[in-house]
Amino acid sequence: MRDNDKHTADQWHAHLARIRKIIGKFMDNEISAGEKRAAIAAENAEYYGTDFKSPATGELLTKAPRVRDYEPLF
């Protein structure tokens, strides 16, 4: 949880549980990498309610990536 997060610890843990479920579907080959990234972005948008960037990379975490970022080229 970030220091300036307005959510409770329970809300934070529920958010992480939803992300773990998405990652589990990816690990079980139920969804593609692109679907995983889009689903996590949607979850982040729901949780944060606004644009949020990774403090490490600056990547926007609340928008689905562009198709060309995850679709195979061949």
Q: Tens digits of per-residue pLDDT, 1-53?
A: 555 577 888 999 999 999 999 999 999 999 998 899 889 989 988 998 877 77
Whether the Cβ atoms of residue 63 and residue 45 lie closer than 8 Å to each other = yes
Closest of 8, 12, 32, 10 to residue 22, by C-alpha: 32
pLDDT reported for residue 63: 78
Q: Where are the domains of the chain?
A: 9-68
**CB neighbourhood size of 10 (10 A):** 8
Degrees, nearest 5: CA angle 37-53-20: 40
DSSP SS3 for 42: helix
Average pLDDT over residues 52-62: 78
56 confidence band (pLDDT: 50, 70, 90):
confident
Say if pTM beats, i.e. exceeds, 0.85.
no
